[in-house]
Amino acid sequence: MQSSAWLTDVIRLSLLAAGLTLLTTALTHAAAPPAAGYTNPVTAGYSADFPDPSMIKGRDGWWYAYSTGGPYAKDGHDGDSYKIARSRDLTHWEKVGSVFGADNRPTWADPASGFWAPDIRYLNGKYVLYFTVHNTTTTPDNWDYAIGAATAPTPAGPWTDSGAPVVAPRPAAGGGFEWTIDPAEFTDTDGTRYLYWGSYNGGIHAVRLTADGLRTVGAVTNVARDRFEGPYVVKHGGYYYLFGSSSNCCAGPTTGYAVFAGRSRSPLGPFVDRLGNDLNASRTGGTPVVASNGNRWVGTGHSSMVTDLSGQQWFAYHAVDRTDPFVTNSNGWLLRPMLLDRLDWSDGWPVVNAGAGPSESSKVSPVTTSSAATGDVRVEADVTGTGQGVSARGGRVSAVIDNGRLRLTNRFGLSRSVQLPLNVPGTIALEIRGNQATAEFSEDRLGDPLATLQLPMSAGSGSAAPVGGAGNFSIAPLYKPVTRAVPTPRIGKVDSRYSDEFTRGLGAGWTWRNVSPDATVANGALQWKTEANDLTDNNTAAKASLLLRDQPTGNFVVETKLHLNVGTDTVRNYQQAGLLVYLDDENWMRLDHVAGGTGRFIEFGKRMRFTPVGAPSVVTFGGAMIGPPAETTWLRLAHDVVPQTGEHRYRAASSTDGKHWVWGAAWTLPAGTTPRIGLVSQGSSAQTDAQYGKATALFDYFRVTR
């Protein structure tokens, strides 16, 4: 653990009246700096690997980020068990050190255990870091996951473990232990603290915490199905939003990890997506927030959030560079650097870059320094007690702490106040947009305000200042929200040369790769029973029946209407059917309605052979979740050519009514290749067939629109 003055001092501004006048005059009249640009990954130059990131703005003015342990260097050397970094601008990071060392390692963590998935908070005047231990000393099992908490006076440490797990290992129904991992704290407006955690073995859970955030209180609530992990909760517009990552985290260049969201009027759910689908249902809901878009970034997941000085929210998450995913001379040791992208809200739902997905080109940087602001403005400062706060527009509006209340006052003498549920240090932010002033008090600026007030405001300008010795003061032009999502792929007219309505047998243009004896055309549909051979199985891939045809050139969308009755909540592994894009048995992608475990989902899977530099080639498979299925589901794949690379790009969508579509991840195939498109019905296991029989996929049509 490093130790120096800048790691332990908490810098506060304490300004006299004359000093305030000089400062605010300079801030009001200084020229605004030009908008600088940044490029992902933001941890480049500091660390090649920074998975599961969590961020906070420290009360010393620095931004801090924490991650699961791993190497700093691309060659896999020079690592830490649990990383801490700091930045002045959110886009250039430097090493602080590690959370735990030999002198402060939790005694209940097995010496062989790693530390995963941090969550950083500022509670009751202390920094609290929640963490995952995968091997504890509380049971003989080597994979008895648990969640702990450590506290520190500064975001750099020194860290002191709370002495025992906050959430102890939880036995799983089928034996072993649930994946009690990926913690995230949330404090509600009534002062109640909650902890969320969970993963694919057990689902996402929530429980109330004691006031210090170090112990649980009461019953545990299951809030999302075992399709998700890496929860994160914020409050926005009267709703609680649960973010969760889904699909495989670590499949190299085919990592399908992506972030979804659901919302609720209660912090304990039920959480539903934009279309009203429950995140706890067998046909699991989830509105996409970020997914791969065909550039070099895949595996976009395990997110947290941070707000810059303008009020703009930013999404911090890790991703995989599909062109160079592994440690040097390796074909399996994955690197996941941290990305940062703008988080927008469109029609009440969060989405990264207005739906454009992860960025790889230069983007406008977050606002992290004070600058001139004469119109819409945001001012903020850290406060510790009564009389402290901020003012704006020459003192015509102020937001202060007033004997345990947040008070907002404007120039007309109008004043509103609300009792704060907790007597704690925190941050006051005052935003003026048009004729409205909004004041917010939070402990740590992480999307869970303890109180919010609004008042009308007249037009004008003027200086801004901290009040009563408030520290860490800033002023900046208020961000301009981006509310219009980027357009989804255009649906053109049906091209009959590449389409089939299945009215009189198979139409022209189809080719079987291994004719299926269980496929017939009858009653206006292709009826095809799920076969046992599967393209993901090296032993049966060559035997799998595939129905294929040439794809057109240029942009097009292929669509099918699929009826597949695999029920809900029962285990029918892994019956599935859907659309296929095929090069050969090692390079293909499919968009299927899949029965997996007790869940039902739409998976856009990709298999490919990848050859890393300095290591043997490897065949990888990964899947990206799209929307929820129904007994009848519509599927689409939109094709275009990536201008920079010439690759074939396919973006997936699904619908349960043929009208409202969920657009999700995109995969690519190499430039210069000739993929074919088609249909598939497979994945049935002997056990599933014996218990339930084969499922029958009914394809109502196969249409290509251009």
Read off the pLDDT of each residue in 151-159 and give the average, rounded to a whole number.
99
Domain range annotation of the chain: 16-38+370-482, 45-232+248-261+288-364, 496-705
Residue 289: which pLDDT band, with cuts at 50, 70 and 90? very high
16-38+370-482 shares its CATH topology with 45-232+248-261+288-364: no
Whole-number Å distance between alpha carbons of 592 and 703: 16
631 is catalytic: no
Mean pLDDT value across the chain = 94
Between these two residues, 81 and 479, which has the higher pLDDT value? 479
Q: Which residue has the tokens 């209407």?
A: 561
Whether pLDDT at 117 is above 60: yes
Residue 24: which pLDDT band, with cuts at 50, 70 and 90? very low
Residue 411: which pLDDT band, with cuts at 50, 70 and 90? confident
Whether pLDDT at 489 is above 90: yes
644 Cβ neighbours under 8 A, 6+ residues apart: none
Residue 22: which pLDDT band, with cuts at 50, 70 and 90? very low
pLDDT digit string, tens, across residues 345-366: 999 999 999 999 999 999 999 9
CATH code for the part of the protein at 45-232+248-261+288-364: 2.115.10.20
Q: How many CA atoms lie within 13 A of 248 on its CB side?
A: 16
Contact in structure between 78 and 57 (CB atoms under 8 Å): no
One CATH from 3.40.50.720, 3.40.630.10, 1.20.1440.120, 2.60.120.200 for 496-705:
2.60.120.200
141 is catalytic: no
pLDDT at 35: 55
The single residue of 229, 273, 443, 500 carrying the catalytic annotation is: 229
With residues binned 3-state (H G I as helix, E B as strand, rest as coil), the percentages for the chain, rounded to 5, are: 5, 45, 50
Q: Which of 8-22, 266-280, 478-492 has the lowest mean pLDDT?
A: 8-22
Whole-number Å distance between alpha carbons of 340 and 115: 23
CATH code for the part of the protein at 16-38+370-482: 2.60.120.200
Residue 549: which pLDDT band, with cuts at 50, 70 and 90? very high
pLDDT digit string, tens, across residues 292-306: 999 999 999 999 999
**What is the percent of the chain with per-residue pLDDT over 90, rounded to a whole number?**
92
pLDDT digit string, tens, across residues 177-207: 999 999 999 999 999 999 999 999 999 999 9
The single residue of 52, 161, 559, 592 carrying the catalytic annotation is: 52
Residue 372: which pLDDT band, with cuts at 50, 70 and 90? confident
Could you give the C-alpha distances from 501 to 385, 495, 526, 561, in angstroms and in order?
Answer: 71, 12, 9, 10
Whether pLDDT at 28 is above 90: no
Nearest residue to 286 via CA among 231, 339, 238, 357 = 231
Taken as a whole, the chain contains a residue count of 706
